[in-house]
């Protein structure tokens, strides 16, 4: 019974933890401009993140080594440092976007300006990282994030023409008024939102935090393989809501209030309350994960002591690094830069940096020195190579498309 509860909890947290500010904004933007014609990308992204998380989780459980230790060891110091710089900067951008997201959601709930909420959000993130037990942090934010299911509820209550939505999803076409490069630019953005590298840093380091061994592999696989696809469905519901309400009205999403507008229309005040809780929980949870990830990547590259399971004094540089990251994020947000804009760029840069983390994990998960008998099976490797190609193509195409489309405008 306890074991079953553990499994259920793991899956629920994976669903609630899947969606972050990147998914919220990108799916809503895409829904409001392209309808459901890019849903296939969410599917490709979800399969990819399942594969990636499965491999990195297996490496962590079998060898006790988290992702960035492996990256440094395999790529050596030069390529490793280039990788660290790229991953760390993008992660910092995501930290900034998530804290901004928390503040924007709190502004919608309280009508106090979001700039005033930003220090509150950052201090709260730090306090949780400083004091709260890892598993409690994971479960509370994950479970509260589940309230985002209200997007799916709202979609039903909006009574859309399901035939039209299915048509958009199953026979994807570039809508009138949008260009082919823009379509593909947003395809890469959606892919990056689903396969953010920080999720993998966090997932593999979390496995070490919670002391996973190979015995926990079955449960971890279940969490990922069930939780992430259901999280992906939430993403689709967000896009669906935007496609039903915003696309016909000609509103292209540029703010968080527009992201949740369809929920208010479909599910009323109660729905609005739920969605606000959900957005705060999802962005706050992701702010924790990204902040921890910035500490994880640095500590693992340089070999520092790290982990929330240690007292802060036993992982001093790790905690100091996270404090500095939060301060930098605060400073960036204090300039008044639009967090939604930061988010839109961060998902594309995530897609650009993805091969850097993906390749070493793909290689090490085949190395018996690390994995013992738990090396990748043939099916995982075939899929793994297919995704290596997809990830490389997305990464190489992202910058040209960004220039050609003026970042999707």
Contact 235, 64 (CB under 8 A): no
If the CB atoms of residues 304 and 345 are measured against other proteins, the closer one turns out to be: 304
If the CB atoms of residues 73 and 265 are measured against other proteins, the closer one turns out to be: 73
What's the min distance (Å) between Cβ of 122 and other proteins?
A: 15
What's the min distance (Å) between Cβ of 133 and other proteins?
A: 5
Contact 195, 187 (CB under 8 A): no
Residues that bind other proteins in the complex, under the rule CB under 8 A: 63-65, 69, 72-81, 130-134, 299-306, 308-314, 316-317, 319-320, 360, 362-364, 366-370, 375-376, 381-382, 384-385, 388
Q: What angle do CA 139, 151, 261 make, to 5 degrees?
A: 120
Residue 215 CB neighbours (<10 A): 8
Distances (CA, A) of 107 to 145, 221, 260, 270, 292: 18, 37, 13, 18, 25
If the CB atoms of residues 116 and 385 are measured against other proteins, the closer one turns out to be: 385
Contact 231, 322 (CB under 8 A): no
Contact 187, 300 (CB under 8 A): no
The candidate with the shortest Cα–Cα distance to 45, out of 400, 390, 403, 392, is 390
Contacts 24+ apart (CB under 8 A), 70-78: 70/360, 70/361, 70/364, 70/370, 71/300, 71/301, 71/356, 71/357, 71/360, 72/300, 72/301, 74/360, 74/363, 74/364, 75/360
If the CB atoms of residues 221 and 310 are measured against other proteins, the closer one turns out to be: 310
If the CB atoms of residues 75 and 190 are measured against other proteins, the closer one turns out to be: 75
What's the min distance (Å) between Cβ of 211 and other proteins?
A: 11
Contact 147, 279 (CB under 8 A): no
What's the min distance (Å) between Cβ of 33 and other proteins?
A: 37
If the CB atoms of residues 68 and 203 are measured against other proteins, the closer one turns out to be: 68
If the CB atoms of residues 30 and 362 are measured against other proteins, the closer one turns out to be: 362
If the CB atoms of residues 29 and 125 are measured against other proteins, the closer one turns out to be: 125
What's the min distance (Å) between Cβ of 223 and other proteins?
A: 22
The candidate with the shortest Cα–Cα distance to 287, out of 161, 122, 131, 174, is 122
What's the min distance (Å) between Cβ of 363 and other proteins?
A: 5
The candidate with the shortest Cα–Cα distance to 242, out of 229, 227, 232, 257, is 257
What's the min distance (Å) between Cβ of 321 and other proteins?
A: 9
What's the min distance (Å) between Cβ of 314 and other proteins?
A: 7
């Amino acid at each position: 019974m306890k074991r079953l509860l553990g499994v259920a909890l793991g899956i629920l947290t994976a669903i609630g933890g899947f969606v972050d500010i990147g998914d919220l904004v990108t799916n809503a933007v895409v829904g409001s401009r392209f309808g459901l014609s890019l849903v296939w990308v969410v599917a490709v992204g979800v399969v990819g993140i399942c594969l990636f998380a499965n491999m990195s989780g297996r490496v962590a459980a079998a060898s006790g080594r988290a992702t960035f230790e492996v990256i440094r060891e395999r790529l050596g110091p030069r390529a490793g440092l280039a990788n660290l710089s790229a991953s760390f900067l993008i992660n910092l951008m995501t930290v900034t976007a998530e804290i901004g997201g928390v503040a924007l959601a709190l502004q919608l709930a309280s009508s106090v300006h979001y700039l005033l909420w930003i220090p509150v959000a950052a201090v709260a993130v730090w306090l949780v990282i400083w004091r709260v037990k890892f598993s409690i942090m994971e479960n509370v934010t994950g479970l509260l994030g589940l309230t985002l299911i209200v997007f799916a509820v709202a979609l039903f209550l909006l009574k859309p023409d399901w035939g039209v939505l299915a048509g958009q999803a199953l026979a994807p076409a570039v809508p009138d008024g949008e260009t082919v490069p823009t379509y593909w630019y947003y395809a890469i953005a959606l892919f990056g939102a689903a396969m953010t590298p920080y999720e993998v840093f966090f997932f593999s380091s979390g496995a070490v935090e919670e002391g996973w061994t190979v015995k926990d592999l079955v449960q971890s696989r279940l969490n990922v393989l069930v939780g992430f696809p259901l999280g992906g469905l939430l993403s689709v519901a967000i896009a669906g809501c935007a496609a039903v309400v915003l696309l016909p009205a000609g509103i292209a999403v540029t703010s968080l209030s527009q992201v949740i507008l369809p929920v208010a229309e479909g599910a009323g005040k109660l729905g609005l309350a739920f969605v606000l809780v959900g957005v705060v929980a999802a962005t706050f949870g992701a702010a924790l994960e990204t902040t921890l990830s910035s500490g994880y990547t640095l500590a693992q590259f340089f070999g520092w002591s790290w982990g929330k399971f240690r007292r802060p004094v036993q992982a001093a540089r790790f905690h100091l690094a996270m404090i500095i990251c939060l301060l930098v994020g605060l400073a960036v947000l204090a300039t008044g830069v639009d967090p939604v804009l930061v988010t839109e760029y961060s998902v594309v840069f995530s897609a650009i940096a993805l091969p850097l983390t993906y390749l070493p994990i793909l290689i090490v998960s085949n190395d018996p020195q690390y994995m013992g008998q738990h090396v990748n099976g043939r099916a995982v490797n075939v899929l793994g190579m297919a995704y290596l190609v997809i990830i490389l193509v997305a990464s190489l195409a992202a910058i040209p498309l960004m220039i050609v489309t003026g970042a999707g405008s």
